[in-house]
A = this chain, B = another copy of it.
Amino acid sequence: MSVAEAGPKADVLVEAIPYIRRFSGKTVVVKYGGNAMGDDLSTFAEDIVLLHSVGMRVVVVHGGGPQIGDLLSRLGKETRFVDGLRVTDAETLDIARMVLVGKVNREIVSTINVHGPLAVGVSGEDCGFLHASARSPELGFVGDIDLVDRRFLDQLLESGFIPVVATIAMDAAGQAYNVNADTAAGAIASAMEAEKLVYLTDIEGVRKDAADPASLLSTVSADELDGMIRDGSVTAGMIPKVASCTGAVRAGVRHAHVLDGRIPHVLLLEFFTDAGIGTMVTP
């Protein structure tokens, strides 16, 4: 290369290597969003394998609401709502589980495995590692996580695997529940005492004023976010993410991030540069 090219490249490397070293052996939980899927999946998979290759312990968590809706409608299954929340009867749960574990999870796993045969798809039923109970009798099999048994994920990570988690949980009797993926990612990050919890979304980060792109916050504390939830600055769809971020950093996760999954290699840019990108939540 020319000397002119050399300088900027050297700067990036000198900046990145200390982060690469610092995060080696550290755990990161990445929530890969339904909205961020599609074209970006291959680039996302490449980043996940690169993070793994420099020694990070990466756990991917995903949802799949739109895909569940598709199959429900193809099967002509009607959904009841109680207070605006979808009721999950046994058949709906069965369909949701098939879609999450048997379809969305498989697509992420097989895309990662083209870059390196490392991904293992799991759900909370495997070794019963996500324990849940019913949120409300009226909602059926919608669950809230009671406990994350981190030993299962630890053993997969120590074996060098990348766990990809579909957020079906179970209770002691073997009954399955569907749980919110954003909330599950936060609970897993807390249980793993993760270095980072990352939400990949389709916006650039958290805005002080939801309507104003210029009000993007590059750093925000958990307390400030609490205030923003109270005063309505955080919009509905962001609440589970934002609330999980504040919960996680208070439970020992060092940093939580809301990043724009549409930016190629956004994970590398956030992790390995001084400036970072998107919004970082601090305790």
Separation in Å of the A43 CB from the closest CB of chain B?
9
Chain A count of residues within 8 A CB distance of the other chain: 73
Does A140 reach chain B (CB closer than 8 Å)?
A: no
- Which of the residues B102, B114, B121 comes within 8 Å of A98, measured between beta carbons? B102
Which stretch in A186-194, A232-240, A262-270 binds the other chain?
A262-270
Is there contact, CB below 8 Å, between A275 and B12?
A: no
Most-contacted residue by chain B among A12, A14, A149, A168 (CB, 10 A):
A12
- Which of the residues B46, B125, B159, B170 comes within 8 Å of A121, measured between beta carbons? B125
A156 to B174, CA, bound (A): 22
Is there contact, CB below 8 Å, between B21 and A53?
A: yes
- Which of the residues B97, B156, B265 comes within 8 Å of A10, measured between beta carbons? B265
Does A18 reach chain B (CB closer than 8 Å)?
A: yes
Contacts of A117 in B (CB 8 A): 127-129, 149
Does A109 reach chain B (CB closer than 8 Å)?
A: yes
Separation in Å of the A213 CB from the closest CB of chain B?
12
A125 touching B98 in the complex, CB below 8 Å, given contacts A9-B12, A269-B9: no
A101 to B74, CA, bound (A): 20
- Which of the residues B8, B46, B269 comes within 8 Å of A6, measured between beta carbons? B269
Q: A97-B106, A98-B103, A114-B173 are in contact. List 6 more A-B contacts (CB 8 A).
A: A6-B263, A6-B266, A10-B268, A17-B20, A97-B103, A102-B103
A176 to B113, CA, bound (A): 12
Chain A residues within CB distance 8 Å of chain B: 1, 3, 5-10, 12-14, 16-18, 20-21, 46, 50, 53-54, 74-75, 94, 97-103, 105-106, 109-111, 113-114, 117-123, 125-129, 149, 152, 155-156, 159-161, 168, 170, 172-174, 176, 263-266, 268-269, 272-273, 275-277
Is there contact, CB below 8 Å, between B111 and A174?
A: yes
Contacts of A13 in B (CB 8 A): 12, 16, 50, 265, 268-269, 272
Contacts of A129 in B (CB 8 A): 117
A94 to B53, CA, bound (A): 31
A170 to B121, CA, bound (A): 14
Can you give 19 A-B contacts (C-beta < 8 A)? A1-B277, A3-B263, A5-B275, A6-B269, A9-B12, A12-B12, A12-B13, A13-B268, A17-B20, A54-B54, A97-B102, A97-B103, A101-B105, A102-B103, A109-B125, A113-B128, A114-B174, A119-B126, A155-B161
A74 to B77, CA, bound (A): 11
Is there contact, CB below 8 Å, between A176 and B106?
A: yes
A122 to B125, CA, bound (A): 12
A6 to B204, CA, bound (A): 13
